[in-house]
Chains A and B, each alone.
Chain A
Amino acid sequence: MPGRDAPQLAGLIEEAQRVLAICNACRYCEGYCAVFPALERRLAFDEADVHYLANLCHNCGSCLYACQYAPPHEFQLNFPRVLAQVRKVTYRKYAWPAFLGAAFERSALIAAIATVAGIALLFTLMVGDSSRLFAAYSDAQGAFYALMPHGVMAGLFGVVFLFVLASLAMSFARFWSDTGERVAEFVAPPALSGATWDAAGLRYLDGGGDGCTYPDEKPSFARRRFHHFTFYGFMLCFAATAVGTIYHYVFGIRAPYPFWSLPVILGSLGGLGLIVGPVGMLWLRHVRDPDLGDRTQTGMDVAFIALLLLTAVTGLALLALRETRGMGVALAIHLGAVLALFVTLPYGKFVHALYRFAALVRFHIERRRPLPETGTD
Chain B
Amino acid sequence: MDFSRVYDVLVLGGGNAGLCAAITAREAGASVAIVETAPKSMRGGNSRHTRNMRTMHVGPAAPMTDAYPEDEYWDDLLKVTGGLTDEGLARRAIRDTAEHLPWMIRHGVRFQAPLGGTLHLSRTNAFFLGGGKALVNAYYACGEKLGIEVSYETEVTDLELRDGRFASATVMHQGVEHRVAAKCVVVACGGFESNLAWLREAWGPPADNFIVRGTPYNMGRVLKVLLEKGAKQVSDATQGHCVAIDARSPKFDGGIVTRVDAVSLGIVVNREGQRFYDEGEDFWPKRYAIWGRLVAGQPEQIAYAIIDAKSMGKFMPPVFPPVRAQTLAELAGAFKLDGSALARTVAQFNASVRPGTFDHTVLDDCATSGIDPPKTHWARAIDTPPFFGYPLRPGITFTYLGVAIDERTRMLMANGVTAQNVFAAGEIMAGNVLGKGYLAGIGMAIGTTFGRIAGAEAARFAGT
A interface list, Cβ under 8 A from B: 21-22, 24-32, 37, 40, 43, 62-63, 65-75, 208-210, 217-218, 371, 373-377
The CA of A29 and the CA of B112, in the complex, are separated in Å by: 10
- Given pairs A28-B134, A66-B133, A375-B117, 15 additional interface contacts (CB within 8 A): A24-B317, A25-B257, A25-B259, A28-B115, A31-B127, A62-B134, A68-B256, A69-B255, A70-B41, A71-B41, A208-B129, A375-B316, A377-B259, A377-B315, A377-B316
Closest to B118 in A: A377
**Interface contact B116-A37, CB-CB below 8 Å:** yes
B316 close to A66 (CB less than 8 A): no
List 30 A-B pairs, Cβ < 8 Å.
Answer: A21-B321, A22-B319, A25-B256, A25-B257, A25-B318, A28-B128, A28-B130, A28-B134, A30-B115, A30-B116, A31-B110, A31-B112, A31-B113, A68-B48, A68-B49, A69-B257, A71-B41, A72-B41, A73-B42, A208-B110, A373-B313, A374-B317, A375-B261, A375-B315, A375-B316, A375-B317, A376-B120, A376-B315, A377-B118, A377-B316
With both chains docked as a complex, state the minimum distance between the C-beta of B356 and any C-beta of chain A, in angstroms.
19
Nearest-CB residue, chain A, relative to B44: A68
With the chains together, A27 CA to B121 CA distance in Å? 15
With contacts A72-B41, A376-B120 taken as known, whether A31 is within 8 angstroms of B130 at the C-beta atoms is yes
What's the minimum C-beta distance from B410 to chain A, rounded to whole angstroms? Answer: 33
A289 to chain B, nearest CB (A): 12
**What CA separation (Å) do A29 and B51 show in the bound complex?**
10
B41 touches A26 (CB 8 A): no
- Chain B contact-residue range equals 35 or more
Q: How far is the CA of A29 from the CA of B284 in the complex (A)?
A: 23
Contacting residue for B137 out of A32, A65, A73, A377, CB 8 A: A65
Report chain B residues within 8 Å CB of A26. 131, 255-257, 319
| Interface of A: prevailing SS | loop
Q: Are B130 and A376 in contact (CB under 8 A)?
A: no
Q: Is the CB of B313 within 8 A of A376?
A: no
Q: Which residues of A contact B316 (CB under 8 A)?
A: 25, 374-377
Q: Which one of A22, A62, A68 lies within 8 Å of B132 (CB-CB)?
A: A68
Query: Closest residue of chain B to A24, judged by CB?
Result: B317
Interface digits, B316-335 against A, CB 8 Å rule (1 contact, 0 not)?
11110100000000000000
Contact B129 A73 (CB under 8 A): no
| A71 to B39 Cα, complex, angstroms | 12
CA distance A218 to B48 in the complex (A): 18
Which residues on the B side are within 8 Å of A373 (C-beta)?
Answer: 313-314
- In the assembled complex, the Cα of A28 lies from the Cα of B48 at a distance in Å of 11
CA distance A174 to B447 in the complex (A): 53
Query: Contact at A209–B129, with CB atoms within 8 Å?
Result: yes
Question: Is B193 located at the chain interface by the 8 A CB criterion?
Answer: no
Question: B195-207, CB under 8 A of A: which get 1 and which 0?
Answer: 0000000000000
User: For residue A376, which residues in chain B have a CB less than 8 angstroms away from its CB?
Assistant: 117-120, 261, 315-316, 361
Q: How far is the CB of B397 from chain A (nearest CB, A)?
A: 13
Tell me the nearest residue of chain B to A31, going by C-beta.
Answer: B112
A contact residues around B253 at 8 Å (CB): 73-74
Among A25, A40, A68, A374, residue most surrounded by chain B Cβ atoms (within 10 Å):
A68
